[in-house]
Amino acid sequence: MSRIDIRVNDCDGSEFVLFPACAYAGNKFDVLKREYPPKFFPDEARIDMPVTITDVPRLEKDGSGKIEVTTGDVSIPCIGIYNIKESRAVLVYTIQHIDGKNLGLAYEMGLISITYPAFREKVYRANLMAENQETYNDIECKIPYKLIEFDCQGMEEFFRVYFVNRKCMGMDDRRADVLPYTKQFELLRDKFNAMNWCEDSQYYDIDTKGMWQPGWCGGAMAGYPLMKLGGELEKQRAVKTLEHLFANQAPSGLFYGFSIDKNDGFRIKGAEKWLLVRKSADCLYFLLKHFELMESVPLKFIEGTKRTADCFVDMWIRYGQFGQFIDCDSGDIVVGGSTSGAIIPAGLAEAYKYFNDERYLTVAVESAGMMYERDALNGYTTGGPGEVLQCPDSESAFALLESMVVLYEITGADKWLEYAKFMAHQCSSWVVGYNYLFPDGSEFSRLEMKTTGSVFANVQNKHSAPGICTMSAGSLLKLYKWTGDKLYEELYKDISLTMGQYMSTDERPIYSWDRLDETIGGKCSCERSEKYKLPQGFINERVNMSDWEGYHRVGEVFYGSCWSEVSNLLTLVDLIDNVEGIINIITKERRVL
């Protein structure tokens, strides 16, 4: 085995350890070992919940232990150490593979290691760590890497240096050739009308089973781009979707989480009234986007939206946070902590514009500042997804970026621009910056898929994905327009221009991994037949670079329609129709607080 060891001096376990998209602060948090979908139980619920994660690759809370992963588990083959006490930082970059085999990345108490081939004593499989039964051959070769050491006075500087150097190894980062944007929209529009419109209940949703979910990639978000880019049918159906939304508004002013149980408790006894705050946060922000497109907004919509905004204001006054899981009747925080409400400042700031209510802007400013200082400046955000406990995630990070951008637009205060730049740098750590070499014979190898710009959602669900869950990357384009820094433009293009290739079409179908499980005469048929073909317009969330679901599923997808379609729709709004609007935002008069 070939090995590079780099010793980082003066480490005592308190260092910030980064494996991009895999470990933040070394994942040194409280741990609950839960099978999927992991959930807090009522007797564990606390308003002052410490960051609590599942059994992912991690260090112990005192910094002991070891993280061993492969380059397929990270967005960029890199390990970063920030010694806060010594104001020093180290970033070590390498490449994905040698001769088609992934390299290994490891860290334990001041020792960074790169190995070839990858070596792991334990492997991560479906939410739990397990003993590794693999054997390894000794292979001698030269491992390329780049070491960057620098004085570091804060987390802002650490992630800025990471951002600037994230592509320093010169790996292939060509973007994919995709269908014209209008063609992508036509395919998605037709698919949503045929498969995502629930005729019985009169709403759009994100899957093809008719299950209602408001935010966190739900119907109240999907309706906006369909209303914006579609025709009369889509506009009518988007309004119907909002009618369904307000028919499912809880007494607190928040929105019920699912159509089946109306909650986000995953059928856990005692959690029947739990709602993921992120879902209603998404609704507030996107409701006001809907209203901008409507000639006449029904009074019920206006009053219901104000109830949601008022609920968040009341929550902030009572708790000084927005929590993660909320009682749907009372609006009380059940599980606190996390950055689940990261988009709330953006929603409240837009509500200030719509309702001319100063309270909304005041809470938006105060809460955004709190989440920035409490969470982002510690190097991570949490609570975006509803089924990863509080594992660090990109969804809340991009949502907080959006809030900083909106606050800068509305107030003009320079600090929000600086906060937005830092959040963009942190968000970049979740974005794949090169094209992964998929195994021969895999579906993504056959299709020559480009992974540049795909986005890891969180450290638990170890796959990258087409797009941000769930919004466009338009905030990055605004940063480029405001600062002139072309790295923001590059990151925007990487994310926005990669999604279309993951859409299955009749001319370029994508086949599911189910074909690998079919056996004929005791052998895997691996036949790409019609029954395994994803229908036209389907975009699956899996960009499996990691072997977290087994080696045979690297470069493969399951048979399913996913939230990435909504992300693509929101991105198409930017690509097709919003460039002039972004330019106008730069020059419009701002109210400075």
Taking only the tens place, the pLDDT of each residue in 511-520 is 999 998 766 6
Identify the band that residue 260 occupies on the pLDDT scale cut at 50, 70 and 90: low
Give the integer Cα–Cα distance in Å for 530 and 425: 43
Positive or negative torsion for Cα 435, 536, 182, 203:
negative
Give the integer Cα–Cα distance in Å for 304 and 253: 7
Give the integer Cα–Cα distance in Å for 78 and 95: 9
Q: Find the largest Cα–Cα distance for the chain.
A: 72
Beta-strand ranges (E) seen in 359-504 are 455-456, 464-465
| pLDDT above 90 as % of the chain | 88
Q: Is 240 helix (H, G, I), strand (E, B) or coil?
A: helix
| pLDDT above 70 as % of the chain | 95
Mean pLDDT computed over every residue of the chain? 94
Q: Is 286 helix (H, G, I), strand (E, B) or coil?
A: helix
pLDDT value, residue 211: 78
Residue 125 near residue 132 (C-beta atoms within 8 A): no
> What mean pLDDT is predicted for residues 266-274?
90
Torsion, Cα 377 469 225 452, to 10 degrees, reads 90
pLDDT value, residue 590: 33
Residue 573 near residue 189 (C-beta atoms within 8 A): no
Helix axes 232-247, 219-229, angle to 10 degrees: 160
pLDDT value, residue 258: 81
Bond from prior residue into 37 cis (ω within 30 degrees of 0): yes
Bond from prior residue into 382 cis (ω within 30 degrees of 0): no
- Specify the higher pLDDT residue, 264 or 328: 328
* Phi, psi dihedral angles at 389 (to 5 degrees): 55, -120
Give the integer Cα–Cα distance in Å for 170 and 150: 21
pLDDT tens for 526-560 read 788 899 999 999 999 999 999 999 999 999 999 99
> What mean pLDDT is predicted for residues 568-575?
96
Identify the band that residue 133 occupies on the pLDDT scale cut at 50, 70 and 90: confident
Identify the band that residue 582 occupies on the pLDDT scale cut at 50, 70 and 90: very low
Residue 545 near residue 556 (C-beta atoms within 8 A): no
pLDDT value, residue 475: 97
Residue 438 near residue 445 (C-beta atoms within 8 A): yes
**End-to-end Cα distance, the chain:** 59
Of 104, 133, 100, 135, residue with least CA distance to 117? 104
Helix axes 394-411, 358-374, angle to 10 degrees: 140
Q: How far is CA 481 from CA 61, 372, 382, 449, 580, in A?
A: 41, 23, 28, 30, 11
pLDDT tens for 279-325 read 999 999 999 999 999 999 999 999 999 999 999 999 999 999 999 99
pLDDT value, residue 261: 72
> What mean pLDDT is predicted for residues 490-515?
97
pLDDT tens for 149-173 read 999 999 999 999 999 999 999 999 9
Buried b (16+ CB within 10 A) or exposed e, 241-280: bbebbbebbbebbbbbbbbeebbbbeeeeebebbbbbbbb
Beta-carbon contacts of 414 under 8 Å, excluding residues fewer than 6 positions away, are: none
Q: Is the pLDDT of residue 581 over 60?
A: no
The H or E element containing residue 122 is strand 122-125
pLDDT value, residue 523: 62
- Specify the higher pLDDT residue, 264 or 94: 94
Residue 302, classified by CB atoms within 10 Å of its CB into exposed (0-12), middle (13-18) or buried (19+), is middle
Give the integer Cα–Cα distance in Å for 216 and 353: 24
Hey, what amino acid is at 403? S
Q: Is the pLDDT of residue 524 over 80?
A: no
Q: Where are the domains of the chain?
A: 2-28+63-165, 174-207+430-593
Neighbours of 168 (CB within 10 A): 14
Of 233, 237, 232, residue with least CA distance to 222? 237
Residue 333 near residue 48 (C-beta atoms within 8 A): no
Give the integer Cα–Cα distance in Å for 81 and 523: 47
Q: How far is CA 255 from CA 241, 269, 284, 445, in A?
A: 13, 20, 10, 42
pLDDT value, residue 519: 62
The H or E element containing residue 329 is none
Q: In DSSP terms, which residues pair with 69 in a beta bridge?
A: 105
The H or E element containing residue 221 is helix 219-229
pLDDT tens for 358-390 read 999 999 999 999 999 999 999 999 999 999 999
Residue 182 near residue 166 (C-beta atoms within 8 A): no
Residue with tokens 């980062």: 173
Of 216, 272, 220, 259, residue with least CA distance to 458? 216
Q: In DSSP terms, which residues pair with 431 in a beta bridge?
A: 455
pLDDT value, residue 591: 34
Give the integer Cα–Cα distance in Å for 235 and 221: 13
Neighbours of 182 (CB within 10 A): 12
Residue 509, classified by CB atoms within 10 Å of its CB into exposed (0-12), middle (13-18) or buried (19+), is middle
pLDDT value, residue 294: 97
343: its two tokens:
């988009």
118: its two tokens:
């990858």
Identify the band that residue 593 occupies on the pLDDT scale cut at 50, 70 and 90: very low
pLDDT value, residue 589: 34
pLDDT value, residue 79: 98
pLDDT value, residue 62: 98
109: its two tokens:
């108490």
pLDDT tens for 17-33 read 999 999 999 999 999 99
Give the integer Cα–Cα distance in Å for 438 and 448: 8
Give the integer Cα–Cα distance in Å for 120 and 106: 9
Give the integer Cα–Cα distance in Å for 337 and 412: 29
